[in-house]
Amino acid sequence: LFAGPVDFLKGVVAMDGLPPDDRPEICFAGRSNVGKSSLINALTGRKGLARASNTPGRTQEINYFTLGDQYYMVDLPGYGYAEAPVAVVERWQRLLKAYLAGRASLRRAFVLIDARHGVKPVDAEIMSLLDGAAVNFQVVLTKADKVKEKDRTRVLAQVREKLAKHPAAFPELVLTSSEKGDGIATLRAIIAGIA
Ligand code: GTP
Ligand code: MG
């Protein structure tokens, strides 16, 4: 699907460490532990490409991956609660926000939302930041395998209601499970269509 190598490029800890913005990129944002790194592994079919773990705050740098020769794919640190020292968390939250609001080559941010929990205030805050920076974003619901049928409809409605307030949001939601593979092909096709 993606022509050329899919590989880890570098971990970035400050805005001046970002690679030259000479090609379009997409990124995965979301609360700590929502499943950003796992989704990258599922999308690329490479289990250990992005490091995932059950500890919130696993990803602490802006991790760049090449997506073929033409795109970058970016795994971000989470926002919200993380198991790391406060000073460290604050540093990466500042970096995360600077990146989301200030990266000219960012074509679309995928904002990951746990399909069991819906949009939390901290997610809405990030969506408002993206609105303000005019960065298009699309919600990907994660951990679909863990959501009960009766909760799914309610959560989807809650997410749609919240998104209506955000001009930079794409209305289409993608329900995924990195564990079971639901929605992965759909998301690959969406990414392939971002030029
Ligand atoms: P941080 O880097 O800490 O912000 O987390 P993250 O958003 O990158 O989450 P990560 O991919 O590390 O996954 C967190 C936990 O959720 C891990 O234990 C994963 O195995 C689990 N997980 C991720 N996606 C799924 C999924 O689709 N289904 C299930 N059941 N578990 C998942
Ligand atoms: Mg991660």
Centre of ligand 1 from the C-alpha of residue 160, in Å: 23
Question: Does residue 1 lie in a domain region?
Answer: no
Residue ranges of the chain whose pLDDT lies below 70: 1, 195
Q: Which atom of ligand 1 is nearest to the CA of 34?
A: 7
The span from the CA of 83 to the CA of 171, in Å, is: 33
Question: Does residue 125 lie in a domain region?
Answer: yes
Domain housing 48: 6-192
* CATH classification at residue 16: 3.40.50.300
Centre of ligand 1 from the C-alpha of residue 44, in Å: 15
Query: What pLDDT is stored for residue 119 in this prediction?
Result: 98
CB atoms within 10 A of CB 58: 19
ipTM of predicted assembly, 2 dp = 0.99
Q: How do residues 42-52 score in pLDDT, each as one tens digit?
A: 999 999 999 99
Residues with CB in 5 Å of ion ligand 2: 36-37, 58-59
Query: What pLDDT is stored for residue 81 in this prediction?
Result: 83
User: Could you give the number of structural domains in the chain?
Assistant: 1
Ligand 1 pocket mutation pick from 32, 38, 73 by most atoms within 8 angstroms of CB: 38
Decide: 37 and 52 in contact? Cβ < 8 Å.
Answer: yes
Question: What predicted TM-score, i.e. pTM, was given to this entire model?
Answer: 0.97
Residue having the nearest C-alpha atom to atom 18 of ligand 1:
54
To which H or E segment does residue 10 belong?
Answer: strand 6-12
> Strand 71-75 vs strand 25-30: parallel, antiparallel, or unpaired?
parallel
Question: Does residue 12 lie in a domain region?
Answer: yes
Centre of ligand 2 from the C-alpha of residue 58, in Å: 5
Q: How do residues 143-187 score in pLDDT, each as one tens digit?
A: 999 999 999 999 999 999 999 999 999 999 999 999 999 999 999
